[in-house]
Amino acid sequence: MTSKVSFVGELRTNCVHIASGSIINTDAPIDNHGKGELFSPTDLVSTMLASCMMTIMGIAAQTHGFSIDGTTAEVEKIMATNPRRIAKIRIVLDFPPCKYSDREKAFIKQAAKECPVAQSLHPDLVQDIIFNFK
């Protein structure tokens, strides 16, 4: 078992990672009857896309002898209706001041595309990924 999720009322859940005991609590968003005081499940999907991409990029960088330490991502989730779903996730990746070679940039971009979350999302969901190398 990966996790245990409990509905705790007021449109909130408590999610426990079995192996580590780590906890994530969620809330429905304001535009869908919630308070918007915590990550919503769709916020987490969008955020975890960035997290997964950065993890796989980090593995690729480590494998090829360079680092992406200090990289940050800004995530924007755009919702659609009928049915309500995530229509687009825009991620702006800002890399630290470093002179990445063209080869290193190619490894980074390919790794982002191959992350398991990116590969698991529906093909109609637009993944707009911007790489800002300084």
Contacting residues for 11 by C-beta, under 8 A, at least 6 apart: 27, 28, 33, 34, 35
Pairing of strands 3-9, 12-17: antiparallel
- Over residues 99-114, the mean pLDDT reads 97
pLDDT for the residue numbered 40: 98
Within this chain, do residues 18 and 46 fall inside the same structural domain, yes or no?
Answer: no
- Mean pLDDT over the full length of the chain: 97
Share of the chain above pLDDT 90, in %: 99
- Over residues 87-99, the mean pLDDT reads 97
Within this chain, do residues 48 and 28 fall inside the same structural domain, yes or no?
Answer: no
Sign of CA dihedral 6, 8, 13, 17: negative
Within this chain, do residues 15 and 52 fall inside the same structural domain, yes or no?
Answer: no
How many structural domains does the chain have? Answer: 2
Within this chain, do residues 88 and 119 fall inside the same structural domain, yes or no?
Answer: yes
pLDDT for the residue numbered 34: 95
Within this chain, do residues 47 and 21 fall inside the same structural domain, yes or no?
Answer: no
- Alpha-carbon distances, residue 52 vs 31, 47, 59, 89, 124 (angstroms): 27, 9, 11, 13, 19
Within this chain, do residues 73 and 97 fall inside the same structural domain, yes or no?
Answer: yes
User: Where does the pLDDT of residue 29 fall: very low under 50, low under 70, confident under 90, or very high at 90 and above?
Assistant: very high
Which residues are paired to 23 by β-bridges?
Answer: 16
Task: Flag whether pLDDT at 68 surpasses 90.
Answer: yes
Task: Flag whether pLDDT at 134 surpasses 90.
Answer: no
Distance CA 40, CA 24 (A): 10
Within this chain, do residues 12 and 78 fall inside the same structural domain, yes or no?
Answer: no
Within this chain, do residues 23 and 49 fall inside the same structural domain, yes or no?
Answer: no
Within this chain, do residues 18 and 78 fall inside the same structural domain, yes or no?
Answer: no
Range of the domain at 77: 41-132
Within this chain, do residues 76 and 49 fall inside the same structural domain, yes or no?
Answer: yes
pLDDT for the residue numbered 73: 98
User: Where does the pLDDT of residue 52 fall: very low under 50, low under 70, confident under 90, or very high at 90 and above?
Assistant: very high
Within this chain, do residues 73 and 94 fall inside the same structural domain, yes or no?
Answer: yes
Within this chain, do residues 49 and 102 fall inside the same structural domain, yes or no?
Answer: yes
